[in-house]
Structure 1
């Protein structure tokens, strides 16, 4: 990794570091290890190497940058949207605040440090600084800030540099412009933005790429709270944090008991097909003390804050959608992950049944890349002295990469299609 950085392969080096960290976590049986994350990081590493080797795509993007660079943005008028706790499996915790400028671009202010649930619970009250303005995350999610000489990374993280000048301004409600425009954007456009961001390097994906801005009527489904949007799509609202130390689960239960049938604006993070993690909610029946909206993992709702159930009948054409991915697609993902965890031997034995099921599911390209992966794993050649051909490893890596990229692309496409399906 050090050699890669030394020759300017910063994106490859970053992906390589993540792969090594995952391998160490797997070797030590750490609870933070996720085979899916290791698989995705390895796909990222090999994709970058293949792009650079073959001269494909944007070479500058494939090379990456040495460190996070903050670009000059000039003057911004920012309005707080919401705050949320941060709690990672790698041992970091804190809080993050999302803000919106007059062009409806999203930006973040974060304060994260090593810690656990206690730091996540108290993170919303921790101070965050932007120029001369010093606010808690809870307050920043409702306040306005005028910034001169603003700086931010490619991912939208604002810099708190001493060179930045800022002054506090009046906050805006979600129903005020320009914030109201976030909820006018069609769902299809929001999902297209999310899908486009996923193909970018993780370090430069824009802030809020996985957020959906939903307007509708609250209801209750088999799994709990839902929101029925104007296009008769029922979206399940799940808890972003299950730990009882945070108010998330209790807030959703309160809403399901005493707010059904009432209109609301919701910000949710995509968590599956027509499923979001509820992050913040606004409604005209919320008390003034909440400043226009409730941050579902920060603020605790009281029974007196809720309006009580209203008469409401959900449209018949509004079932919660099920995942539309063909059942056969998981066979490809299984083989891709098995190759990562077990190497060549784990995918050496071909499975004509798996390839046939992919073909029947109209995933003929998936069947082809799976067959090629099996053949590359089983095909070992030797030279005249009986030594294994080192090119065999290259052929296996290329076949695995083709299968992993195909699986990722199809999975993303089907995820978006599942949201838009009537």
Structure 2
């Protein structure tokens, strides 16, 4: 796949070459999701590719990470404007700290601008690709400074899937999926994987918002009836209120009550369920939980604790 040709105009470059070479293009078309068209009117010839430290690419790393994260959140939000533009890619300068064990496996921890710890995960676990092996090797090079490109993973802590980085020796760049690092590329080829010291939890790490989110998500495959059989959710709403989210607690109470509500006629027969009312409560809970999640993610990327300009209610403090 990496050596398959991509034809654009009069040029034919492989995926591997396209990641490093330049193209001079005229008459190009772009789809709404950002894909470059290759119609008959497109003309393209190969050119020298620009280094990440040269203009115009160097400007991508000059935007503060918090602003990049806010832009990526606007792009990835499930309620984003379908006609809006933006990218979920982040361009960061980081210092590697080592590996971190998580319930789902091991990821790479790096220190970004402003001392923000960023977790870097493999973009794909396919063994035919080099993502996982490259991350394991980079974990053996703590202290190495890299220029990286990653895709935002919305979470209560800074988190990216690592797509590409500068070479540890400073010579060129590495596509983490197509290029394989070797131990000889590391500052100390004999060094084992290094585990980073424990990091303090971020402001949203202990948020009880997940108690509302899981009920919203549970409704999608299981339906209204499954939510109606939960019974008393007082314990969950109490935890949510203690976490400072009274609106989330009220929404969970209303959602479950609406799911369980079934009225009867004078003869004791069940009346049709109020599906419109339940749908309204579900949509309110879904929009609220998404907005608060975006707000927590934005705060995690900002060392000053200020919420950047993300979409909708996420731009306001979570309550």
Q: Shorter chain as normaliser: what TM range?
A: 0.7 to 0.9
Instruction: Answer yes or no: is the 8 Å Cα contact 1:274–1:321 preserved in 2.
Output: no
CA distance in 1, matches of 2:70, 2:113: 19
CA distance in 2, matches of 1:204, 1:143: 30
Structure 1 residues 163 and 386: CA distance shift in structure 2, 3 A: farther
Is the partner of 1:188 in helix, strand or coil?
A: helix
CA distance in 1, matches of 2:2, 2:200: 32
Q: Which residue of 2 aligns with 1:250?
A: 133
Gaps of 5+ in 2: 102-106, 190-195, 305-319
Greater displacement, 401-410 / 321-330? 321-330
Q: Which residue of 1 aligns with 2:91?
A: 213
Instruction: Answer yes or no: is the 8 Å Cα contact 1:215–1:265 preserved in 2.
Output: yes
Greater displacement, 358-367 / 345-354? 345-354
CA distance in 2, matches of 1:186, 1:307: 28
CA distance in 2, matches of 1:317, 1:153: 44
Which runs of structure 2 are paired with 1:144-155 in the superposition (5 Å)?
Answer: 144-155=22-33
Instruction: Answer yes or no: is the 8 Å Cα contact 1:232–1:317 preserved in 2.
Output: no
1:226 paired to 2:104 = no
Structure 1 residues 188 and 327: CA distance shift in structure 2, 3 A: closer
TM-score norm. by structure 2 comes to: 0.80
CA distance in 2, matches of 1:379, 1:230: 51
1:308 paired to 2:188 = yes
Instruction: Answer yes or no: is the 8 Å Cα contact 1:215–1:263 preserved in 2.
Output: yes
Q: Which residue of 1 aligns with 2:46?
A: 168
User: What is the RMSD of the two structures over their aligned residues, measured on CA atoms?
Assistant: 2.8
1:130-164 Cα deviation digits (max 9, x unpaired): 22221111111111111111100122111111121
Which runs of structure 2 are paired with 1:362-373 in the superposition (5 Å)?
Answer: 362-373=244-255
CA distance in 1, matches of 2:70, 2:63: 11
Instruction: Answer yes or no: is the 8 Å Cα contact 1:155–1:205 preserved in 2.
Output: no
Which runs of structure 2 are paired with 1:236-275 in the superposition (5 Å)?
Answer: 236-257=119-140, 259-271=141-153, 272=155, 273-275=157-159
Which runs of structure 2 are paired with 1:8-407 in the superposition (5 Å)?
Answer: 123-199=1-77, 206=85, 209-223=87-101, 225-257=108-140, 259-271=141-153, 272=155, 273-283=157-167, 285-287=169-171, 292-308=172-188, 319=199, 321-322=201-202, 324-348=204-228, 349-382=231-264, 389-390=271-272, 392-407=274-289
Is the partner of 1:134 in helix, strand or coil?
A: strand
CA distance in 2, matches of 1:149, 1:142: 22
Is the partner of 1:406 in helix, strand or coil?
A: helix
Higher relative contact order (CA 8 A, sep 6+): 2
CA distance in 2, matches of 1:235, 1:147: 36
Gaps of 5+ in 1: 1-122, 310-315
Instruction: Answer yes or no: is the 8 Å Cα contact 1:246–1:298 preserved in 2.
Output: yes
Is the partner of 1:124 in helix, strand or coil?
A: coil
Instruction: Answer yes or no: is the 8 Å Cα contact 2:5–2:14 preserved in 1.
Output: yes
1:317-376 Cα deviation digits (max 9, x unpaired): 993645715442121122212322332322223412222222221111111211211221
Structure 1 residues 149 and 318: CA distance shift in structure 2, 3 A: farther
What displacement does 1:418 show?
2.2
1:157-202 Cα deviation digits (max 9, x unpaired): 1111112111211101000001011111001100110121234559
Instruction: Answer yes or no: is the 8 Å Cα contact 1:325–1:415 preserved in 2.
Output: no
Aligned length: 288
Instruction: Answer yes or no: is the 8 Å Cα contact 1:350–1:375 preserved in 2.
Output: no
